[in-house]
Amino acid sequence: MGTYYLLPEEGNFYKANLHCHTVISDGDLTPEQVKEAYMEQGYSIVAFTDHNKYCKHEELDEEGFLSIAAYEANIDQFAPHKDAWPDLKVYHFNFYDKYPERREREEKIPMPLRRYNDREYINGYIDQMNEEGFLACYNHPYWSLQTYEDYKDLRGLWGMEIYNHGCEHDGLYGFNPQSYDEMLRTGQRIYTVATDDNHNREPFGSPLCDSFGGFIMIKAGKLEYPAVMEALEKGNFYFSMGPEIREAYIKDNRLVVKTSPVEKIFVIQQGRDCYKKLAPIGETITEAEFDLTGREGYIRVEIRDGKGLYAGTNAYWMDRVMAEPAEKGQ
């Protein structure tokens, strides 16, 4: 094969937070305040995912900033008593609207019923929203107290959260790469994102502030709604808590990864084997190359910097990689 780009060669990277709450549900900031704060931190995109309330905020859009119309749907267990919340299992899904121009500003999108134990109903709701033009993302499985048995049979997902910054503050429940690999190993070819899930109850600058800790870098030709949603749908992005993945491509069956300074570069596979390059103690690396056999099942790159912060790509399935024409990315 020639060159296969895991991240497209052409286009620009745009920093995005895909999980955000405002005063419209249970956040403490207005959409305008969220926009201002995130633009100051170099973000170009925010998806406004208020609980059980579809909203689009095109009035916020300008050169350098794009809002994504979205909502978060909750399907929680019923509480047997008033103090049961800490022990309740929940399904939370973000739905990102590919075609907001088809809908009114605050259109009444049907919200799911509280049928936590009815997997057929839950998958049916996801299918319904897919047909309506939404991308479905499964949120914070660890914080939701869910196990493999709870999520292995979910269907119709576009992606899932691998890191949730708000959940990290709620008991170190933020980073759950095992859940993503478990989903992949069931055969589900889905993407993964890092998000903030910010509610902004703590001030900016506080160590408990739940903003600016988890994001994705979207590679798109333009900062315009159709281009960004196409990039999301194709998986042209990587997740991060801080480190950068600057290039990732396969040339002549050799994976090349270029990053910001990090301590570790790993290539995780469908099985237990992995490829890795580690910096000498006290030093950093910015590039690694790995020979691929084509038998890896899937590969996904994961890197860690000196602060213990991670970044990583989506999973790339080797049967698809080997079948794609040269010079074409996912």
CA angle centred on 196, ends 193 and 199, rounded to 5°: 145
Domain that holds residue 128: 10-244
In a domain, 182, yes or no: yes
Mean pLDDT of the chain: 95
246 Cβ contact partners less than 8 Å away, ≥ 6 residues apart: 258, 259, 260
Residue 324 has pLDDT above 90, yes or no: no
| Tens digits of residue pLDDT in 226-274 | 999 999 999 999 999 999 999 999 999 999 999 999 999 999 999 999 9
| Tens digits of residue pLDDT in 69-98 | 999 999 999 999 999 999 999 999 999 999
Token pair recorded at residue 80 = 């047997």
Contact predicate 169/208, CB 8 Å: yes
d(C-alpha 302, C-alpha 58), whole Å: 34
Helices (H), the chain: 31-40, 119-131, 148-151, 165-169, 177-185, 225-234, 318-323
Q: Sort strands 264-269 and 274-278 into parallel, antiparallel or unpaired.
A: antiparallel
- Number of Cβ within 10 Å of residue 88's Cβ equals 14
Average pLDDT over residues 117-138: 98
Specify the pLDDT at position 172: 81
d(C-alpha 330, C-alpha 273), whole Å: 24
Residue 330 has pLDDT above 60, yes or no: no
In a domain, 311, yes or no: no
In a domain, 184, yes or no: yes
Contact predicate 76/90, CB 8 Å: yes
Residue 329 has pLDDT above 70, yes or no: no
d(C-alpha 163, C-alpha 148), whole Å: 17
285 Cβ contact partners less than 8 Å away, ≥ 6 residues apart: 259, 261, 262, 263, 265, 277, 278, 279
Specify the pLDDT at position 104: 82
| Tens digits of residue pLDDT in 171-219 | 888 999 999 999 999 999 999 999 999 999 999 999 999 999 999 999 9
Specify the pLDDT at position 206: 96
In a domain, 254, yes or no: no
In a domain, 273, yes or no: no
Average pLDDT over residues 282-298: 97
Band (pLDDT 50/70/90 cuts) for residue 326 is low
In a domain, 159, yes or no: yes
Band (pLDDT 50/70/90 cuts) for residue 48 is very high
d(C-alpha 217, C-alpha 15), whole Å: 5
In a domain, 252, yes or no: no
In a domain, 263, yes or no: no
d(C-alpha 186, C-alpha 169), whole Å: 30
| Tens digits of residue pLDDT in 152-174 | 999 999 999 999 999 999 988 89
Average pLDDT over residues 9-32: 98
Residue 312 has pLDDT above 80, yes or no: yes
DSSP conformation letters of 53-122: --B--GGG-BTTBEEEEEEEEEEEPPPSSTT-GGG--EEEEEEEES-GGGS-TT--PPPPPS-TT-HHHH
Domains in the chain, number: 1
CATH number at residue 238: 3.20.20.140
Band (pLDDT 50/70/90 cuts) for residue 325 is low
